[in-house]
Chain A
Amino acid sequence: SQKIEQNSEALNIQEGKTATLTCNYTNYSPAYLQWYRQDPGRGPVFLLLIRENEKEKRKERLKVTFDTTLKQSLFHITASQPADSATYLCAPGAMDTGRRALTFGSGTRLQVQP
Chain B
Amino acid sequence: DGGITQSPKYLFRKEGQNVTLSCEQNLNHDAMYWYRQDPGQGLRLIYYSQIVNDFQKGDIAEGYSVSREKKESFPLTVTSAQKNPTAFYLCASTRSGANVLTFGAGSRLTVL
Question: Residues of A with Cβ closer than 8 Å to B?
Answer: 4, 6, 8, 32, 34, 36, 41-46, 49, 89, 93, 100-107
Per the bound structure, the CA–CA distance linking A44 and B88 in Å amounts to 12
Question: Closest Cβ of chain B: how far from A26's Cβ, in Å?
Answer: 15
> How many B residues, CB 8 Å from partner?
24
Interface centre among A4, A45, A104 (most CB of B within 10 A): A104
Is B63 part of the contact surface with A, judged by Cβ < 8 Å? no
**B84-112 interface with A by 8 A CB criterion:** 88, 90, 92, 99-106, 108
How many whole Å from A46's CB to the nearest CB in chain B? 5
User: A42-B106, A101-B58 known; 4 other A-B pairs, CB under 8 Å?
Assistant: A32-B99, A100-B48, A102-B99, A105-B42
> A89–B37 Cα gap in the complex (Å)?
12
Interface residue from A34, A43, A105 paired with B104 (Cβ < 8 Å): A43
Q: Does B81 contact A (CB under 8 A)?
A: no
Is B33 within 8 A of A89, CB to CB?
no
Given the known interface contacts A100-B48, A106-B40, the answer about A43 and B58 at a Cβ–Cβ threshold of 8 Å is no
Which residues of chain B are near A106, meaning CB under 8 Å? Answer: 40-42
Contact A89 B42 (CB under 8 A): yes
